[in-house]
Amino acid sequence: MKYLRSDKKRKKRSVATLTLTSLVDCFSILIVYLLSATVFGENSIDVPHGLTLPSAEKTEIATAGPKVILFNGQLTVDDKPVSIAELRQVLVAKLSGNPEWQKDPSVIIQADANTPFDEINPIVSASLQAGFAKVLFAAEEGGELL
Amino acid sequence: MKIKRRSQKEEKTDLDLMPVISIMAVCICFLLLATVFVKNGALSSKQALGSEFESKADTSLSLWIYVENARAVDVAIHGGVAATGKTERRKISLANLKAFLSDVRSQHSQMTTALLFPSEAAPLASVVRVMDLLKQNEFKDVGVAPL
């Protein structure tokens, strides 16, 4: 009996209250930070894993347009592999198929920062021939500059 | 006195924070997934189509930049002087280009056009860096000449 009583006392003593106010404070700060960092309703550029974009300070939001990616020598337009020879035709088809793009025809080029321009040049030329007057070079905002 | 004691007892209420914490936890999970920590943007170049360049380029003052490598560029001012065939081409390091561009803008406030001539070996990072510096110095029309 004595043992039982002492056990009951112990149980009573072990009841502890957790102060949750500080936790709520931390959560609130986290939510405010994440809300300010989140970008809602803007076109984000998905970069393939391993591709290092060049850095820039004054970038703009990439408007709608076909995304041409040159990565490891492989050319893709909106995630579909194409050859350099086919690129112009593909871009013409993309432009004619999207009336919204015809108002301000722009193409977004993604390539590694160290890619020499002679590899980018065929993409720029094909884009111009296809009727894209605005060529956008994807860049990482505020990264390590040269 | 009795009434007083009762009211004091009733005032001691605990606020159940568990639902608040649950909602906040869900919010944090959602925002962590939705947040873009590395922001990617783009630098636009306004390209001339067909004979557009020939008709417009020589009429206004413009800055031509020849990007040869990752360290230095050649610059030349074209326009009114170019009409008489006098263009100065000088070499500037990329580190000094920012100061040069701000000087050019202060001297020629009407100059808003710049044309880049990257060489075959010029890395994309250098081209983008020069474009970035031009945009920072309020050059609105930046074009990249194909090889």
Query: Which residues in B lie closer than 8 A to residue A58 (C-beta atoms)?
Result: 43, 132, 135-136
- Band of the pLDDT at B26, cuts 50, 70, 90? very high
A99-126 pLDDT, tens digit per residue, is: 888 888 888 999 998 899 999 999 998 9
- Single-letter residue type at B6: R
Residue A124 contacts B, CB cutoff 8 Å: yes
Number of domains into which chain B is organized? 1
Contact criterion met (CB < 8 Å) for B41 and A113:
no
Average pLDDT for residues B24-53, to the nearest whole number? 78
- Band of the pLDDT at B51, cuts 50, 70, 90? low
Residue B12 contacts A, CB cutoff 8 Å: no
Cα dihedral sign, A62-A63-A64-A65 = negative
Fold classification of A55-141 is Nucleotidyltransferase; domain 5 (3.30.420)
Please report whether residue B31 resides in a domain: no
Please report whether residue B44 resides in a domain: no
Interface subset of B 23-52, CB within 8 angstroms of A: 24-25, 27-28, 31-32, 34-49
How do the domains of chain A map onto residue ranges? Answer: 2-37, 55-141
Average pLDDT, chain B: 79
- pLDDT value of position A32: 92
Comparing alpha-carbon positions, the chain A residue that sits nearest to B71 is: A146
A36-49 pLDDT, tens digit per residue, is: 877 776 656 778 88
A47-61 pLDDT, tens digit per residue, is: 888 888 888 888 887
Best mutation target among B15, B26, B30, B43 (most A Cβ atoms within 10 Å) is B43
Average pLDDT for residues B76-102, to the nearest whole number? 75
Of residues B98 and B1, more confidence is placed in B98
Please report whether residue B8 resides in a domain: no
How far, in Å, are A59, A65, A113, B56, B74 from residue A104 at the CA level?
18, 9, 26, 20, 31
A7-28 pLDDT, tens digit per residue, is: 555 555 666 777 888 888 999 9
Instruction: Quote the domain boundaries for residue B106.
Output: 52-144
Q: For residues A109 and A135, is the Cβ–Cβ distance under 8 A?
A: yes
Contact criterion met (CB < 8 Å) for B24 and A27:
yes
What's the CA gap between B67 and B62, in Å, rounded?
A: 16
For the sheet containing B113-118, what is the strand order? B89-93, B72-78, B62-67, B113-118, B141-144
Query: Which residues in A lie closer than 8 A to residue B142 (C-beta atoms)?
Result: none
What's the CA gap between A87 and A109, in Å, rounded?
A: 12
- pLDDT value of position B3: 56
ipTM of the complex as predicted: 0.73
Identify the CATH number of the domain in which residue B137 sits: 3.30.420.270
Contact criterion met (CB < 8 Å) for B42 and A58:
no
- pLDDT value of position B2: 53
Best mutation target among B15, B26, B124 (most A Cβ atoms within 10 Å) is B124
